[in-house]
Amino acid sequence: MSVSLKTTNGANYFNVLPPGSSDVAVFVGSTGGNEWTGKLEADGEYTIRVYLMRSAARRNEIANYTLSVGITGASAGASKSGAAVAGASPAERAGMGKFDATGNIPCAQAKGQPMGQCAFGVARGGAGTAALVVTRTDGRKRTIFFDKGKATGADLSQADGNTEFRATKEADLYRIQAGNERYEIPEAAIFGG
């Protein structure tokens, strides 16, 4: 399925929710942008939720938008890999590349470097438990772990040179320092929605 949102308001986004979900999204527009293409892993009705960010809604802003949705390819039914993933932890699923959502986040790989954009995939376990895998600008990967909504650590090693991990949260944004790297992760990436 492919979804594209053209809008007059920069705070207008969409989420894609799988069948049976009212809050966990397979795609979060506020972190992934206004275009998405992905495989529908389960049979059933998917929901595309179009919304304004809370700050824009409070200011009574409006958005004129066009939502384009396309479905191509043959029906594949439910994912055959689901059986192998059932019961797997978020870290295990992330290691297999089985993500609940993907997108881009602000990142920097060295002290003093300006923030750029890095791709990410997140495997969620519910209740704020997740493993978020960032593909850094040099192509290497960094995994950041969350438990009950708190960033608890990253896959740092002595080879990284600096194994310090720090995390703060301001409103709905996690600010992560993993060694010399910095990441800004929206809460929606961890909890969905």
- The mean pLDDT value for 156-164 works out to 82
**What is the reported pTM?**
0.57
Q: What is the pLDDT of residue 84?
A: 39
Question: In which domain, by residue range, is 178 found?
Answer: 83-191
**Average pLDDT taken over every residue of the chain:** 86
Q: What is the pLDDT of residue 157?
A: 80
Q: Are residues 27 and 56 in the same domain?
A: yes
Q: What is the pLDDT of residue 74?
A: 52
Give DSSP secondary structure letters for the chain: -EEEEEES-TTEEEEEE-TT-SS--SEEHHHH-SEEE----SSS--EEEEEE-HHHHHTT----EEEEEE--S----S-TTHHHHTT--HHHHHHTT--SEEEEEEEESSTTPPPEEEEEEEEEEETTEEEEEEE-TTS-EEEEEEETTEEEEE---GGGS---EEEEEETTEEEEEETTEEEEEEHHHHH--
Domain boundary among 49, 79, 109: 79
Q: Are residues 50 and 89 in the same domain?
A: no
**pLDDT tens-place string over residues 132-153:** 999 988 888 999 999 999 999 9
Q: What is the pLDDT of residue 86?
A: 54
Q: What is the pLDDT of residue 31?
A: 81
Q: Are residues 90 and 28 in the same domain?
A: no
**pLDDT tens-place string over residues 73-113:** 654 443 333 333 556 788 888 888 889 999 999 999 998 89
Q: Is the pLDDT of residue 62 over 80?
A: yes
Q: Are residues 18 and 110 in the same domain?
A: no
